[in-house]
Amino acid sequence: MNPSASPRTFHVKSFGCQMNVYDGARMAELLEAQGLSAAEGGEADLVVLNTCHIREKAAEKVYSEIGRLQRDDGSKPMIAVAGCVAQAEGGEIARRAPSVGVVVGPQAYHRLPELVAKAAGGVTAIDTDMPAEPKFGALPARRRQAPSAFLTVQEGCDKFCTYCVVPYTRGAEVSRPWAQVMDEARALIDMGAREITLLGQNVNAWRGEDEAGRSQGLDGLIRALDRLPGLERIRYTTSHPNDVEEGLVRAHGEVGKLMPYLHLPVQSGSDRILKAMNRSHDSGSYLRVIERFRSARPDIAISGDFIVGFPGETDEDFEATLRIVDATGYAQAYSFKYSPRPGTPAATMDGHVPAAVAGERLQRLQALLNQQQLAFNQASVGQRTNVLLERAGKHPGQLVGKSPWLQSVHLETQAAIGDLVDVEILSAGPNSLAGAEAVKQAA
């Protein structure tokens, strides 16, 4: 790595989950606070690749991305690899791709400015510490915000599902303190956020003490946010079936701003596979949790994650996954082919499922999930609902927003981004709804 001028412009590209996107936003704010300004990818002096290690395909993207950053004259921007690949591979990245100047893990990115300065001096800077002093306190105040904001409240994971890298790349479960979360929420609302999504790999394991020193769970935090003027909607993700407290279930029936949506991954419907995955729940306990949420909030939309082709998965196991999908009825879902990850226990398990078999199972599962998603969307046609407008649509005068059930809704409107409007749903496709602004009733 050669010495280079200190960068004056930057570009952050995020590849991972919502927490990774949140980290990307905070890194951008940090660089702006240092006087750098944002630029397009190809032109920036510093490109931060904020990576994801969850599946092999995601992790490999970083190397093709590094190759692509070469300019016509052969020069390259300074490259910083951040995120979960940085944590997992550390110095190996700089050995494999010598043009990388900075490698920084997800718990150390508050030190990005020092690392960039070091790299500008010609020294490859690597920091994959998981410092005891939390990074959040060292980050500058929030600077910009769209109508819908992410707010990480819980980091890390202690669950150690046998296929998953997150406990290794993000470290142990830590909850951010109550006051820090509330301050950040207020700052986001001051900057125009009308919806806040609380984030954590196990967000429902969040615990803290409120201003009065009382112990609170996630529902306590949600109830406190509900009282903040200017905030209209609260969401949270991702939840684990084993950490569902009664207070959170009840909140769905009682807290006006809490949206009727629950992302609750099950991964498989086979109890044998769930055991091998170390999920610590079975299909029955999962369905009972869903039932509790539905009794508190009958219209709640359920979303999930699935893995097919886990080592040892038989046709029968897979049929059990299709059955739990049938029994649950999903509004939305993400499904993946199992990807062996280095260092995880499942990677060395017997019973590797051939790629073709896993591919076929994935297709069958996705066909069923798509069918459910379409049916869920079609049930909205003719209904009236509110929509938070988030961005411009493809056509002039068109805006796109989200329904309470997280469906994308397209409509033509005079209203502005950030407005909450009443919409009549006119038609539905598999991925979005089309609507028209409802005429206001005279009082």
CA separation for the pair 12, 38 (Å, rounded): 8
Q: Does 52 bind ligand F3S (CB under 6 A)?
A: yes
The answer to whether the beta carbons of residues 216 and 176 sit under 8 Å apart is no
- As measured in angstroms, the least distance from the Cβ of 157 to ligand F3S is 8
Considering only residues 362 through 401, tell me which ones interact with ligand SAH, judged by CB under 6 A: none
| Interface pattern 202-231 for ligand SAH (x via CB under 6 A) | x-----------------------------
Contact between 116 and 46 (Cβ < 8 Å): yes
> Contact between 334 and ligand SF4 (CB under 6 A)?
no
User: Given the structure tokens 């070469």, which residue do they identify?
Assistant: 70
Binding mask 266-285 for ligand SAH (x = CB under 6 A): -x------------------
Q: How many residues bind ligand SF4 (CB under 6 A)?
A: 10
Query: Residue 18 CB, nearest distance to ligand F3S (Å)?
Result: 8
CA atoms within 13 A on the CB side of 77: 25
Near ligand SF4 in 218-277, by CB under 6 A = 240
- Smallest distance from the beta carbon of 307 to ligand SAH, in angstroms? 5
Q: Which does 16 bind (CB under 5 to 8 A by kind): ligand SF4, ligand SAH, ligand F3S, none?
A: ligand F3S
Site string for ligand F3S, 54-93 (x = CB under 6 A): x----------------------------xx---------
Residue 305 lies near ligand SAH (rule: CB under 6 A): yes
At its nearest, how many Å lie between ligand SAH and the CB of residue 269?
A: 13
| Residue owning tokens 């796109």 | 400
Nearer Cβ to ligand SAH, position 10 or 306? 306
CA–CA separation, 388 and 231 (whole Å): 12
Q: Which does 160 bind (CB under 5 to 8 A by kind): ligand F3S, ligand SAH, ligand SF4, none?
A: ligand SF4
- Asked if residues 393 and 417 have their Cβ atoms less than 8 Å apart, the reply is no
Q: How far is CA 62 from the centre of its chain?
A: 19
Q: Which CB, 223 or 281, lies closer to ligand SF4?
A: 281
Could you tell me which residues come within 8 angstroms of residue 351 by beta carbon, excluding any fewer than 6 positions away?
311, 312, 313
Q: Contacts with ligand SAH in 105-164 (CB under 6 A)?
A: 163-164
Mutual angle of helices 283-296 and 246-254, in 10-degree steps? 30
Short-list 215, 285, 288, 226, CA closest to 251: 226
CA angle 261, 12, 233 (to 5 degrees): 25
According to CB under 6 A, which one of 9, 13, 55, 378 is a site residue for ligand SAH? 55
- Residues forming a β-bridge with 155: 174
* CB of residue 203 to ligand SAH, shortest distance in Å: 9
d(CA 419, CA 409): 13
Chain residues 18-47 in contact with ligand F3S, contact rule CB under 6 A: 19-20
Cβ distance to ligand SF4 smaller for residue 86 or 161: 161
Q: Which residues pair with 236 in a beta bridge?
A: 198
The runs of H, that is alpha helices, within 173-282 are: 178-190, 218-226, 246-254, 271-276
- Let me know the angle formed at the C-alpha of 418 by 412 and 420, rounded to the nearest 5 degrees: 70
Window contacting ligand SAH (CB under 6 A); options: 292-300, 334-342, 396-404, 419-427: 334-342
Q: How far is CA 274 from CA 156, 163, 225, in A?
A: 21, 11, 35
* Residues 164-223 close enough to bind ligand F3S by CB under 6 A: 165-166, 169-170
Residues 23/50, Cβ–Cβ less than 8 Å: yes
Q: Of the two residues 167 and 312, which places its CB atom closer to ligand SF4 in the complex?
A: 167
Site string for ligand SF4, 147-166 (x = CB under 6 A): ----------x-xxx--x-x
CB atoms within 10 A of CB 65: 18
Let me know: does 194 contact 230? Beta carbons within 8 Å: yes
DSSP 418: T
List residues near ligand SAH by CB under 6 A: 54-55, 163-164, 166, 201-202, 238, 240, 265, 267, 305, 307, 336, 338-339, 341
List residues near ligand F3S by CB under 6 A: 16-17, 19-20, 52-54, 83-84, 165-166, 169-170
